[in-house]
Amino acid sequence: MKPEITAHLSKSGSNKPNTMTTQACKRRRSVYISSGSKDSGTDSEVEGNKRSQKSGTTSISSSENRPSSNNKAGSMNASKTRVCRNILGKLMDHPGGWIFHKLVDPDLFGIPDYFDVIRNPMDLGTVKKKLTNKSYLSTDDFAADVRLTFSNAMTYNPPGIQVHTVAEQLNIMFNLEWTSYERKWIDRNLKPV
């Protein structure tokens, strides 16, 4: 395992900052992430983040800051909540998924600039809590928060760092499953009742 990612991946909870991590922070650059969904708004948000990175600020809005989708394919119901819970479970159970279970603790990982770069932090544990509390008004809001989790990881951690790689893998995994369910939901709404 490379030294620069040890602080990010260590489950031991060591409070010592890793100097290699700090150097990786300096090499950080923004990455464009395709959401795979035309209506989630994630592409433009991440593209906007790419532009704002030059000025040293990041502004990706989470579902709490955006109006929810009112289309029938995106509105939440018990069946869609079960699908969301199932997909989220697969992401969290993935061998690298534990990295995204909790919000990033900048003090623990020795990355004091994290909140300067990532203005809207998100993690899968928060997504799970919002899903359990029925905070999501639409499936689009759920998908936006999942994508935000991985977008943040790929924005803060440069390519080649294991956190970035795992975030890419989980983002692809999510988009493949999500697109499949979105098609089913849209097809059901197009059929006459």
**What DSSP string runs through 107-131?**
HHHT-TTHHHH-SS---HHHHHHHH
Question: Is 147 in contact with 33 (CB distance < 8 Å)?
Answer: yes
For residue 188, what pLDDT is reported?
79
What is the C-alpha separation between 175 and 133, in angstroms, rounded? 24
β-strand partners of 127: none
Question: Is 82 in contact with 132 (CB distance < 8 Å)?
Answer: no
Question: Is 111 in contact with 90 (CB distance < 8 Å)?
Answer: no
> pLDDT tens for residues 33-81?
333 333 333 333 333 333 334 334 333 434 444 433 444 456 889 999 9
Answer with the residue of higher pLDDT: 135 or 28: 135
Domains annotated for the chain, with CATH where assigned, are: 36-190 (1.20.920.10)
What is the C-alpha separation between 61 and 42, in angstroms, rounded? 9
- C-alpha closest to that of 142 among 128, 161, 154: 128
Q: What is the mean pLDDT of residues 18-40?
A: 38
pTM score, two decimals? 0.64
Answer with the residue of higher pLDDT: 24 or 99: 99
- C-alpha closest to that of 94 among 178, 177, 170, 6: 170
Is 106 exposed, middle or buried, given 0-12, 13-18 or 19+ CB atoms closer than 10 A? middle
> pLDDT tens for residues 171-188?
999 999 999 998 888 887
